[in-house]
Structure 1
Amino acid sequence: MATSTKTSTKGATKGTTGTKPAASDAAARTGTKTGVVDSAKRHKTRTVVISFQSKHPKYGKYIGQRTILQVHDEHNVSKTGDVVEIAPCRPMSKTKSWSLVRVVDERSDIAAAVASAKEIK
Structure 2
Amino acid sequence: MAVKQLVGLVVSNKMEKTVVVAVENRVAHARYGKIVVRTKKYKVHDEENRCLEGDRVRIEQTRPLSRTKRWQVIDIISTKAGGTP
Q: Same fold (TM over 0.5)?
A: yes
Q: Which has the higher strand share?
A: 2
Which one has more relative contact order, counting CA pairs under 8 Å at least 6 apart? Answer: 2
Give 5+ residue unaligned stretches, structure 1: 1-28, 111-121
Choose 1 or 2 for highest CA Rg: 1
Paired with 2:20 and 2:79, the residues of 1 have a C-alpha distance of 16
Question: How many pairs align?
Answer: 81
Structure 2, unmatched stretches of 5+, are none
RMSD across aligned positions (CA): 1.3
TM-score for both structures, normalised by structure 1 = 0.64
2:40 aligned to which of 67, 71, 79 = 67
- % of aligned pairs identical? 32
AA aligned to 1:80 is E
Map of 2:15 onto structure 1? 42
Cα distance in 1, alignment partners of residues 31 and 51 from structure 2: 40
Q: Runs of at least 4 residues of structure 1 off by over 6 A?
A: none
Question: How does the TM-score come out when normalised to structure 2?
Answer: 0.89
Does the alignment pair 1:85 with 2:37? no
1:58 pairs with 13, 17, 31, which one?
Answer: 31
